[in-house]
Amino acid sequence: MKKILALVLAMMLALGCVAFAEGASPAGGKTFTAGATTGFFGAESLDVAAGWDGWIMSIYGISENLFRLDENYVPQPWIAESYENVDELTWKFTIREGVTFSNGNPVDAAAVKACFERTYQINDRAASTLDIASMEADGQVLTLVTATPNPTVINDLCDPLMGIYDASQEPDPELGVACTGPFIATAFTAMTEVSMVANENYWGGRPLVDNVELKIIDDNEALNMALQNGEIDLIAQLPAAGTAVFADAEGIVMDAKTSTRANFLCYDQNRPLVQDQALRDAIGMCIDREAFAEVVYNGYATASYGVYPASLPYGSTDGFELKVTGYDPEGAAALLAENGYEDTDGDGILEKDGQAVSLKLITYSYNNQCIQLADMLQAELAGIGVDVQIETMDVLDDTVAADDFDFAVMNYAMAPTGSAQYLISMLFESASSGNVAHYSNEKVDELSNQLKATFDEDERIAIAKSVCEQVVNDRVYDFVCHQQLICAYSDKVTGFVVNPTEYYLITNTIDIAE
């Protein structure tokens, strides 16, 4: 009997330890809880300047920028009240009066300048985001001079890497830098969870909820059940398989907006087999884009035959002469036969100039939709005699850098700042380090440079569309579908708006009925 008593005591002791660990829980008031996978919520620190963490902090509602993109990807004033484009290189921003950092320090032009200076020193992505030549601070007016004429300065300032924080203070090892957003972090565990309280002095009005808890849950079905169970109030960037669970669920609202995120194929031009345009076109014809969007994304995606989604002004394929317009495996087989592909040794795999057409396909191990596209491709291409070996990995960078793949299924946000230039500079310019396929088309390079110096909006759209037509028909990058950003939330949640940019989630207007 004594032993049982001891056991009970030991258990109570252990539970006591847990209760102690729980001490950090919110003090009271309304709490809003949201969950997402690592891809959407995973920050390594709360320092805007570190890696991609600024992006996540903007999602958290901690950091804010000078400008904010609205639902149509148009920048609107945020911490900056207004701006003036003095000449091609010079921009003047008036910082909103009365905005303070969460530590109480006021936000003025000098603070913004110091913040950008620190970010540029720490993060090498900053210079390629916006090439600043010099800055000058005078009261609330910040004068910014770019190194070259740049028509997209305002869009670039929407990139969360350009988030505003107090650079005069050393970042806290756990809670990072002080920002201006509606919520302030009180506890943070990297890649796991963050607890926040309302910023009482938020310039845009006190947030309607008192506490926000954000949790990373990587098992998709666990994430769904957490919402069904009422443990979380919202799932941000709901994985596509979950849409079926919530389609007719009572008390849960699903809201989706076409984002600029796309699944695309990318063919490494340093590898001989996929240098052949005919093979790339044939593969393009073997993708059942409509079925992929309809089934794998449960309709929360749109098949693509161009580059950008049609929701963007430069997104349509009207007037393009397209080589691939639908799913046509017979056509693909015929195209390959025409171009000298033949199965000479009878092993079911085609050969070209004596070499078997066996391709290595890589994709992300955590992206189920990309994996399913890879599976579809593998089976479809086996049907026309093209052998595909799939390898999945968490990070593609090393394999891509080593040219150890023929093609890849990738997933990017293509115009997060609303500007067409973002993707063109990153992916299509032959000299760009982000051009992982080593795609090179002189005309594209020329058009891209032209786009960089053009300020007229209509002209910019025309140039961007010309780039798209080149890219689509070269098919070194083949865009398969444009997906929607889906959020599922309890019907008790009010004041929540899905913003397709993926930059914003938590705002001061979110409220939850008791």
Partner 1 sequence: MKRNKAGLVISLTLIALLALVAIIGPNYLPHQPFKPDMRTALQPPSHEHLLGTDNLGRCVACRIVAGASTSLFAALAVVAIVFAIGTVLGITAGYIGGVMDHVLMRVTLIFQAFPSFILAVAVAGILGNGMGNSILSLCAVYWTTYARLARSLTVSMRNAPYIKAAKVCGAGKLSILFKYVLPNVVAPVLVTAALDVGSVILSMAGLSFLGLGAVRPTAEWGAVMSEAKDYLQKAPWIIVFNGIALFLVVTVFNLLGDSLRDALDTKGEI
Partner 2 sequence: MRKFLRNLAQTLILIVGITFLSFTLSYLSPGDPAQQMLKRSGMMVTEETLQKARHELGLDQPMLVQYGLWLRNLVKGDMGTSVKSRKAVALELGKRLPNTALLAVVSMLLVIAISTPVGLLCAWWKDGPLDNAFRFVTYLFASLPSFFISLIMMYVLSLRLKWFPVIGSVSVKGIVMPALVLSLTLSAWYIRQVRAIVLREMEKGYIDGLMSRGLSTGSILFRHVLRNCMVPLVTLFGISIGNLMGGATIVESIFSWPGVGKLAVDSITARDYPMIQGYVVWMALIFLAINFLVDLSYRFLDPRIRKGA
Point out which residues bind partner 2 (CB under 8 A): 1, 3-4, 7, 10-11, 14-15, 17-19, 21-22, 25, 35, 44, 124, 189-193, 215-219, 221-222, 225-226, 228-229, 231-232, 365-366, 393-395, 398, 401
Query: How far is 162 from 110, CA to CA, in rounded Å?
Result: 15
**Which residue in 208, 241, 337, 462 binds partner 1 (CB under 8 A)?**
241
Measured distance CA(148)–CA(64) in Å, rounded: 26
Angle among Cα 379, 381, 385 to the nearest 5 degrees reads 115
Which one, 179 or 296, has the nearer CB to partner 1?
296
Nearest residue (CB) to partner 2, 50 versus 274: 50
Q: Per rule CB under 8 A, is residue 349 in the interface with partner 1?
A: no
Q: What angle do CA 210, 213, 214 make, to 5 degrees?
A: 140
Cα separations in angstroms, 474 against 106, 324, 419, 420, 468: 52, 11, 22, 18, 10
Cβ-based neighbours of 141, under 8 Å, separated by 6 or more: 92, 93, 94, 95, 109
Closer residue to partner 2 in complex, CB, 76/121: 121
Distance in Å from the first CA to the final CA of the chain: 46
Residue of the chain from 221, 347, 404, 457 that contacts partner 1 (CB under 8 A): 221
DSSP string, 279-309: HHHHHHHT--HHHIIIIITTTSEEE-SSSS-
Among partner 2, partner 1, none, what does residue 229 contact (CB within 5–8 Å per kind)? partner 2
Which one among 147, 295, 401, 497 touches partner 1, defined by CB under 8 A? 295
CB of 295 to partner 1, least distance (A): 4
Choose, by CB under 8 A, the member of 269, 372, 435, 448 that binds partner 1.
372
Q: Which two tokens stand for residue 307?
A: 């580059």
Angstrom distance (rounded) from CA 296 to CA 420? 27
Position 326 contacts partner 1 (CB under 8 A): no
Q: What SS3 state is found at 88? A: coil
We find the least distance from the C-beta atom of residue 188 to partner 2, in angstroms, to be 12
Distance CA 304, CA 96 (A): 41
Instruction: State which of residues 383, 401, 403, 404 lies at the interface with partner 1 (CB under 8 A).
Output: 383
Whichever of 103 and 378 has its CB closer to partner 1, that residue is: 378
Residue 460 beta carbon to partner 2: minimum distance, rounded to whole angstroms: 33
Segment near partner 1 (CB under 8 A); pick from 203-211, 383-391, 408-416, 506-514: 383-391
497 binds partner 1 (CB under 8 A): no
Half-sphere exposure of 441 (CA within 13 A, CB side): 22
Residue 35 engages partner 1 in binding (rule: CB under 8 A):
no
CB proximity list for 184: less than 8 A, separation 6 or greater: 62, 102, 196, 197, 198, 199
Least separation in angstroms between residue 218's CB and partner 2 is 7
- With a CB cutoff of 8 Å and minimum separation 6, the contacts of 308 are 260, 314, 315, 414, 415, 420, 423, 464, 468, 482
With CB under 5 to 8 Å by kind, the binding choice for 479 among partner 2, partner 1, none is none
Size of the site for partner 1 (CB under 8 A): 31
Distance CA 240, CA 369 (A): 8
3-state helix, strand, coil in the chain (%, to 5): 30, 25, 45
Q: Residue 73 phi/psi, 5° resolution?
A: 65, 25
19 binds, among partner 1, partner 2, none (CB under 5 to 8 A by kind): partner 2
Q: Find which of partner 1, partner 2, none residue 245 binds, CB within 5 to 8 Å per kind.
A: partner 1
Site for partner 1 in 391-410 (CB under 8 A): 391-392
Q: Decide whether 3 or 319 has the Cβ nearer to partner 2.
A: 3
Residue 218 sits in the site that holds partner 1 (CB under 8 A): no
Helix axes 277-285, 329-338, angle to 10 degrees: 160
- Rounded to the nearest whole angstrom, what is the least distance from the CB of residue 480 to partner 1 in the complex? 14
Site residues (vs partner 1, CB under 8 A): 219-221, 224-225, 239, 241-242, 244-245, 288, 291-292, 294-296, 365, 368, 372, 374-376, 378-380, 382-383, 389-392
